[in-house]
A and B are shown apart, each in its own frame.
Chain A
Amino acid sequence: MTSPLRAAVIGAGAISLEHLPFLQQSERANLVGICDLSPVSARIAARRFDAEAGYTDLAHMLRQALPQVVHVLTPPHTHGPLVRLCLEAGAHVVCEKPMAATADEAQELLTVAATNKVHLVENHNYRFNDEVVALKALIEQGRIGDVCEVDIRMALQIRGEGSRFADLSNIHPIHAMPAGVLHDFVTHFAYLLNELSGGADWQRVSAAWSNHGGGELFKFDDLDATLIGPNGAGQVHGRIRFSCRTSPDVFSVTVRGTEGQASTDIFHPFLEVLGPRPGGEQLTPIVNHIVNGTRLAGAGFRNFGQKLLQHGPYHGLSRFLDSTYEALQADQPPPVTPQHIMAAASLVDRLLDQEARL
């Protein structure tokens, strides 16, 4: 294997606890620094994850630690100048989503990356989850025929008691983003829709952004969007639903095609496939029931084991990071390309466009 890349992190907040275990354990990375405005955060994170040093100033870390890759994990509204500083220092950047508030800002940062001949990668972690990888494989194998519809539905208690988004004493910085709290999730919806639809060109977009819970803190707490566009094989319908009122928390993904459909839930992993089975038209429904029932029961045991082993919904992140580092070591394009980033950012822009509002 080629030598590990010198890696650094800026922002020792909650999401860093997903990135740092990879950087601590991977043979592809050598963790040379962790930077945070809070000295104790930088110091303790460096100690817990065996980083060479903790820093409170990014420019100092870039000069002293000379990282080849920097993970920008600060709140979204701070990304722009920090990403730019890292890129101009000659470091590749892995940036948490949303990388930018708008597609224009995302494009500016990608241009800075290209100018400095380094890569800028946005975290699209759910693309790398086991279930999404399995869905993608089914589609590519033609098991459900041509993709006609992709439904993505998330329910999350963002306004519930104890939610970090609902704390009026310590207002979460994500509220400042154009879609407010929903900006924390909408990038996921956008890249998953693009990926599973086969890169549909969403020509018609309508989005109902609502604040059903009311009040001044939340811009929106609900999204209901419909998208229609061709993907080369035909017209695809996309649907995004986000609700904070229904229970339990779910993150379900369903893809329907000309031959069948496949569903999963990223929070409660399983894979259901309804499609042609041996036994002909008469027996296909029964075989589907038996196969999917068996698979669902198996998922129960597997999910229990995965819960014990803390193989949670964020498990795709380490796979994403590993493949990104592998590509960077080999001087190859990372798996999340500028095209992926811009397609997702443009779709978020479209959803927020006043003309698309219902």
Chain B
Amino acid sequence: MNTQTEPSQFRIFVSGATGFVGRHVVAEAVSRGHHVVAMVRPASSASALDPVAATGRLSIVRADLAAPTGIAEAMAGCDAVLHLAAVKGGDFFSRFAGTVVGTETLLNAARAAEVRRLVAVSTFSVYDYGAIKAGSVFDESFPVIADPRGRDEYAETKLYQDELYWEFGAAPDNHLVMMRPGMIYGRDQLWHPLLGGEFGPIDLRVGAKARPPISYVENTAQALVLAAEVLCDPQTTDSVDGQVINIVDNDLPTQAYYAERVKELVEVPKSLFVPRPVMKAAAVAVAAVNRRFFDGRAKVPSIALPDQIDARFKPFVYQNAKAKRLLGWSPRFGLDEALRRSASSEDLVSKQLMSNGRSES
């Protein structure tokens, strides 16, 4: 296994490189001595990566997953693909086209370029939270949703994406590590859906005592880059090949504690508190009425769907032992520092580059 201080140098292709997670992945990888080929959409700004570009270990390729042109060529010679690009909003088709068909395009390019290692970025949303009793230990053995149909658009499309990932990993000579981060939080994304959500004109805060599976964005980036390193190093590839690895922070806070801390730092939406059992009971009643009187056709806000309430608010004991064991990962930032950095105006990408003392800028 690689150590965190002396990784081998690899050439890593990163999709979604200017996104919320991507920019930190790029900075983390470059700070650890790797060369990153960053895929950026043709019309998107790449200014978030300016500090990284100054190191000389960043190549930017302009491409869009809606059109395969140029992606395989840009991947040529890369040791691994780290796939972050996804569509997180919009209707089913927008998500399907952006996330599922986009992944198909990316993986076809990897096959054409003979890049055989994939760090696949999945999500906790593919787990079947209704299948396990509240309070259980939650690790990588947790069951995944068996039938994507009828689930919310995000979970459904991510399940189809996982299907493509597994197919890629099953091919001879291909290697795959399936990374499943929890709810990733960070700057501008501190108030997250595991605290509550919109119900019509009202913002609801649901639950207080659960400790949701959250992962600070820079900690997540650290884990993803470590996964790429372990996968790329021939001596350690087998240790993670075909493995699912969940990523959550250490010492997960309760919803109530996290919400209070965030309120001290940034403005948050005014919300109405609802205990989770009350919300679940209401959702079950709504679902029964929908089935009884509307043949299940009525469109209900996601926060009022029973499986969504389980996925977002049901309490479990989340584990990150496998990530630590296989990747040598130890989340760099605790909650207090993560929140402080998120609420500050510091250039986090530059700081991240400097943190390992490898920046040439």
Residues of A whose CB lies within 8 Å of any CB of B are 13-14, 17, 38-41, 44, 48, 162, 164, 167-170, 307-310
Residues of B whose CB lies within 8 Å of any CB of A are 41-44, 64, 66-67, 89-94, 96-97, 100-101, 104, 149, 160, 164, 294, 297-299
Assembled-state Cα–Cα distance A263/B149 (Å): 40
A-B CB pair tally, cutoff 8 Å: 50
Assembled-state Cα–Cα distance A308/B67 (Å): 36
User: CB-CB < 8 A to A48: which residues of B?
Assistant: 149
**A13-B93, A13-B97 in contact; A309/B298 too (CB < 8 A)?**
yes
User: CB-CB < 8 A to B100: which residues of A?
Assistant: 40-41, 44
Partner of A41 from the list B44, B101, B299 (CB cut-off 8 Å) is: B101
Determine whether the beta carbon of B160 is less than 8 Å from that of A310: no
Assembled-state Cα–Cα distance A69/B299 (Å): 31
Assembled-state Cα–Cα distance A40/B101 (Å): 7
Partner of A167 from the list B43, B89, B299 (CB cut-off 8 Å) is: B43
Determine whether the beta carbon of A310 is less than 8 Å from that of B149: no
The distance from the CB of B203 to the nearest CB of chain A, in whole angstroms, is 21
Q: Of all chain B residues, which has the CB nearest A41?
A: B101
Determine whether the beta carbon of A40 is less than 8 Å from that of B42: no
Given contacts A40-B100, A41-B101, 14 further A-B contacts (CB under 8 A): A13-B93, A13-B97, A14-B91, A38-B101, A38-B104, A41-B100, A44-B96, A48-B149, A167-B43, A169-B42, A308-B294, A309-B297, A310-B298, A310-B299
User: CB-CB < 8 A to B66: which residues of A?
Assistant: 169-170
Assembled-state Cα–Cα distance A10/B299 (Å): 28
Partner of A40 from the list B94, B149, B160 (CB cut-off 8 Å) is: B160
The distance from the CB of B126 to the nearest CB of chain A, in whole angstroms, is 15
Assembled-state Cα–Cα distance A170/B96 (Å): 15
Q: Of all chain A residues, which has the CB nearest B66?
A: A170
The distance from the CB of A308 to the nearest CB of chain B, in whole angstroms, is 4
The distance from the CB of A159 to the nearest CB of chain B, in whole angstroms, is 14
Determine whether the beta carbon of B294 is less than 8 Å from that of A309: yes
Task: Pick from A17, A39, A41, A170 the residue with the most CB of B within 10 Å.
Answer: A170
Assembled-state Cα–Cα distance A17/B90 (Å): 14
Q: Shortest 8 CB-CB distances between A and B: which pairs?
A: A168-B43, A169-B41, A170-B66, A14-B93, A169-B43, A308-B298, A40-B104, A169-B42
User: CB-CB < 8 A to B93: which residues of A?
Assistant: 13-14, 17
Q: Of all chain A residues, which has the CB nearest B89?
A: A162
Q: Of all chain A residues, which has the CB nearest B90?
A: A162
Assembled-state Cα–Cα distance A308/B91 (Å): 16
Name 13 A/B residue pairs within 8 A (Cβ), A-sorted. A13-B93, A14-B97, A17-B92, A17-B93, A40-B100, A40-B101, A40-B160, A41-B96, A169-B43, A308-B294, A308-B298, A308-B299, A310-B298
Assembled-state Cα–Cα distance A170/B104 (Å): 16
Task: Pick from A13, A41, A310 the residue with the most CB of B within 10 Å.
Answer: A41
User: CB-CB < 8 A to A39: which residues of B?
Assistant: 104
Determine whether the beta carbon of B294 is less than 8 Å from that of A44: no
